[in-house]
Amino acid sequence: MRIGIVCYPTYGGSGVVATELGLALAAKGHHIHFITYKRPVRLVHYQENVYFHEVNSEEYPLFEYPPYDTTLTSKLVDVIKYEKLDLLHVHYAIPHATVAYLAKQILAAEGIHIPVVTTLHGTDITLVGSDRSFAPVVSFGINQSDGVTAVSHHLQKQTCEQLKINKDIEVIYNFIDFKRFRSLDKAHFRKAIAPDGEKILVHTSNFRKVKRIDDVIQTFKIVQEKIPAKLLLVGDGPERPRLERLTRELGLYEHVRFLGKQDAIEEILAVADLFIIPSENESFGLAALEAMACEVPVISSNAGGLPEVNIHGVTGCLADIGDVEAMAKHALTILQDDSLLAEYRARAFEQAKKFDIGVILPQYEVYYEKIISKFQAECAKTLISQES
Ligand code: GMT
């Protein structure tokens, strides 16, 4: 198949999933065209069957905000037409689903027809909750897509409850590539971080309010009062300066390391004893899955799709949003008993295998084929009715 993929190219789950999906499809022989405003962060090496089309926004004094939607639409029209794409897969509804619709309409006027699949990642739906004015546009984009997928059952349900949706939404879980995310021996790194054998807790995110990193720090405070421990905070974002201050105020600064944005997350997870993700909302929690693939148990909130990934008492523990006492209690139970920690590690790894890219990728291929056949049948029906 010749597939166009539209995504956000920056650090962030949806862009990572879109890029890894494209690369894996290309490795199976599909031709993949990434279309976005910057080279996606995970698109680092040359790979056969992979193409990148950069969307350049025009600088013009009239435009206080360069019209990205319009330039993206124009690029899509061009790439779909000249690269003869069979399907367009857009990740993240805003603005990609509506832009795809516009491109599709422009091409239809020229007799070119292409099906569109939209994958919902989470904040594209939950954001609507904070700005209702997005709702009609997001609903429209979703309803006009030929296929719609969501990364968890929770997100599927939430989308149908929150928006006026007249489409079936297929759940295709996020996935993990075990070639990259697996347990690694990084004893020297561990020694550098925790020279006296302290337990290591890790959190990775984009440092936004929704991640509740205060709870990570408060949980760590309780843990650190009971056992020697270190906390690694990976990532960057608007909350970081405030959190650095909080860490200092709590007298924790020497035990907490802010590592900033990192590409080789698997090397950091290699030294982790516990991963912590106490989010307010999380449609799936790809970061938790990455940890589990590296045999790291997870302490999480029970928000959104997290319980579909992290199983309480099996792969880690769940607690109510904001319940740092419970999170710390669970963390201590696991960390204070090495044989229990080993059991949790093994079970986290077993659970991660359910999301192996080898399991999930064929689900996308089957779904694409289904959508293309359905779309072609509908096009043929329309043609016949126009001729008669
Ligand atoms: O977590 C973020 O804020 C980034 C966001 C994104 O769009 O990149 O992540 C969302 O998509 C990921 C990939 O599907 C999911 O694993 C995350 O759970 C989801 N984030 C939220 O729902 C807050």
Rounded to the nearest whole angstrom, what is the distance from the C-alpha of residue 16 to the centroid of ligand 1? Answer: 10
Whether 146 is in a domain gets the answer: yes
Q: Domain check: are 194 and 258 in the same one?
A: yes
Query: At 383, which CATH number?
Result: 3.40.50.2000
Ligand 1 pocket check for 286: Cβ under 6 Å: yes
Burial of residue 1, with CB atoms counted within 10 A of its CB: 0-12 exposed, 13-18 middle, 19 or more buried: middle
Q: Domain check: are 13 and 160 in the same one?
A: yes
Nearest ligand 1 atom to the CA of 8 is: 8
b/e per residue 31-54 (b: at least 16 CB within 10 A): bbbbbbbeebbbbeeeeebbbeee
CA distance 253 to 243: 10
Residue 284 has a pLDDT of 97
Rounded to the nearest whole angstrom, what is the distance from the C-alpha of residue 109 to the centroid of ligand 1? Answer: 35
Nearest ligand 1 atom to the CA of 12 is: 8
Q: Domain check: are 92 and 216 in the same one?
A: no
Please state the φ and ψ torsions of residue 4, each to the nearest 5 degrees: -95, 135
pLDDT in tens, the chain (388 residues): 999 999 999 867 899 999 999 999 999 999 999 999 999 888 888 899 999 999 987 777 777 777 899 999 999 999 999 999 999 999 999 999 999 999 999 999 999 999 999 999 998 888 775 678 889 999 999 999 999 999 999 999 999 999 999 999 999 999 999 999 998 888 899 999 999 999 999 999 999 999 999 999 999 999 999 999 999 999 999 999 999 999 999 999 999 999 999 989 999 999 999 999 999 999 999 999 999 999 999 999 999 999 999 999 999 999 999 999 999 999 999 999 999 999 999 999 999 999 999 999 999 999 999 999 999 998 888 878 887 7
Q: Domain check: are 59 and 153 in the same one?
A: yes
Q: Domain check: are 162 and 238 in the same one?
A: no
pTM: 0.94
Q: Domain check: are 273 and 335 in the same one?
A: yes
Q: Domain check: are 290 and 216 in the same one?
A: yes
Residue 151 has a pLDDT of 98
Rounded to the nearest whole angstrom, what is the distance from the C-alpha of residue 121 to the centroid of ligand 1? Answer: 6
Whether 306 is in a domain gets the answer: yes
Whether 53 is in a domain gets the answer: yes
Whether 75 is in a domain gets the answer: yes
Whether 166 is in a domain gets the answer: yes
Token match 């025009």: residue? 58
Residue 12 has a pLDDT of 77
Ligand 1 pocket check for 206: Cβ under 6 Å: yes
Residue 222 has a pLDDT of 98
Q: Domain check: are 363 and 345 in the same one?
A: no
Rounded to the nearest whole angstrom, what is the distance from the C-alpha of residue 151 to the centroid of ligand 1? Answer: 9
